[in-house]
Structure 1
Amino acid sequence: MPTEILLTDPPLWLTTPLLGEPAATALLHTLDAELDWQRPTLRLYGREHVIPRAQVWMGDPEAHYRYSGRDFCPEPWHPAVAELRDLVIANLADQGVQAGFNSVLLNRYAGGEERMGWHSDDEPELGPDPLIAAVTLGAERPLRFRWKPGAAPAGDAGAAAPFNAWLPHDSLLVMGSGVQRQLQHALLPRRIPGLRISLTFRRIQS
């Protein structure tokens, strides 16, 4: 599986393909059809907003987390997602990275107008420097990254600029230790048609 190194410090890399065809497209259609997709309301800046995408929180029974004033309890593992989790863990082990994912956030974007705003996956339940592994199925879109204040590389204005990580169908983006502490990321609106489902595997610490 070819791997593209996007950053070395903190470690950020992209592997594709992960499943191969026709398995990747079959999984996209399975998840689209079989999951109970939801659009929860979150409180941001004192106001209630329906999220601009659909999502499912899935994982082990104890993998609860709190976000934007709401408690999320995981749905049980769908067999196809559990199989994908094990494949991702095995892929990381082949690269010398140990992962013990007990949960996954699935986001469904019906088209390019649906989005995810600027954030870091830095909820307290994830620990200080979490490992996040994100699988993309469906339409290719860029994940935009920007450095947090004071975290950008010194002495190179180009290296400190925001950048895109284009995530094709059947790809695995790994955000290693330090990425959430030093950078934010967003899936911004684009005139890119087509269904996209992302699965971000992580470990909730009890």
Structure 2
Amino acid sequence: MIESLQPWQCLLAQPPIWHYSGVLGDEHATQLMYRLDSELPWERPSLTLYGRRHAIPRQQVWMGDSHASYRYSGRDFTPAPWHPGVADLKQRIESLLAVSHLPSWRFNSVLLNRYEGGDDRMGWHSDDEPELGDDPVVAAVSLGAERPLRMRWKDKRAEAFNLWLPHDGLLLMGPGTQHWLQHALLPRRIPGLRISLTFRHVE
């Protein structure tokens, strides 16, 4: 850890990665997790990887403003309308940034991923699709089972490392993160439901 300015903690200085604990409060965050689990139209789409179609090893929903379409792995995603709880969470994140010592960002879309248990996963990638702009910022909220986000340098300057993502925590991946690093949620023998919400800005 590079710096701690409670409740924000700087996990990496360059590129800047910050963590905020207690975004909603434990009870509210738990209630939101179960609401999203039961109320969202979760799907398990097939994506093209290395020329072959595969069903993703998790469930997801793309959500946001009506114009915030998104394309990755050979598929276009049209956003679902904002769920009230997710819209409130977005406003909460933007308010936290506005009153912090960090730069403020606005988000118009979010990718929600549902992990049923430790076998559900996300492969190595960077959130650097063209529609996210030249230097995207991603704010990721974790609900449910705590799991580590594995990070690795694209230029192999140092060893890969873990960032543990606790319930009701916010991970802010600042400018440069998607350029220099890849991340993955690898399989773990960690039981329990986990829902992640990664807020972005589609241009």
What TM-score does the superposition give when structure 1 sets the normalisation length?
0.94
Structure 2 residue aligned with 1:50 = 55
Structure 1 residue aligned with 2:3 = none
After superposition, the CA RMSD in angstroms is 0.9
1:113 to 112, 119, 137: 119
Q: Is 2:65 the counterpart of 1:60?
A: yes
Structure 2 residue aligned with 1:90 = 95
One-letter code aligned to 2:126:
S
Q: Tell me, in whole angstroms, the C-alpha distance in 1 between the residues paired with 2:145 and 2:46.
A: 25
Structure 2 residue aligned with 1:188 = 186
Q: Tell me, in whole angstroms, the C-alpha distance in 1 between the residues paired with 2:48 and 2:69.
A: 18
SS at match of 1:85: helix
Residues 1-206 of structure 1 mapped to structure 2, 5 A cutoff: 2-95=7-100, 96-149=102-155, 152=157, 160-205=158-203
Per-residue CA deviation, residues 3-36 of structure 1 (Å, 9 max, x unaligned), is: 2211011000111011113101000100001000
Q: Tell me, in whole angstroms, the C-alpha distance in 2 between the residues paired with 1:72 and 1:28.
A: 23
What number of residue pairs does the alignment pair up?
A: 197
Q: Tell me, in whole angstroms, the C-alpha distance in 2 between the residues paired with 1:93 and 1:2.
A: 14
Per-residue CA deviation, residues 144-171 of structure 1 (Å, 9 max, x unaligned), is: 0000026x3xxxxxxx111000000000
SS at match of 2:44: coil
What displacement does 1:83 show?
0.3
User: How many percent of aligned residue pairs carry the same amino acid?
Assistant: 64
Q: Tell me, in whole angstroms, the C-alpha distance in 1 between the residues paired with 2:18 and 2:151.
A: 13
- Structure 1 residues without counterparts, runs of 5 or longer: 153-159
Per-residue CA deviation, residues 71-109 of structure 1 (Å, 9 max, x unaligned), is: 100000001100000001111112232211000000000
SS at match of 1:22: helix
What displacement does 1:37 show?
0.2
Q: Tell me, in whole angstroms, the C-alpha distance in 1 between the residues paired with 2:62 and 2:200.
A: 11
One-letter code aligned to 2:75:
R
* Further displaced range: 53-62 or 63-72: 63-72
What TM-score does the superposition give when structure 2 sets the normalisation length?
0.95
Q: Tell me, in whole angstroms, the C-alpha distance in 2 between the residues paired with 1:34 and 1:108.
A: 12
- Structure 2 residues without counterparts, runs of 5 or longer: 1-5
Per-residue CA deviation, residues 27-86 of structure 1 (Å, 9 max, x unaligned), is: 010000100000000000010000000000000000001111111000000011000000
Q: Tell me, in whole angstroms, the C-alpha distance in 1 between the residues paired with 2:153 and 2:26.
A: 35
Q: Tell me, in whole angstroms, the C-alpha distance in 1 between the residues paired with 2:9 and 2:186.
A: 22
One-letter code aligned to 1:102:
N
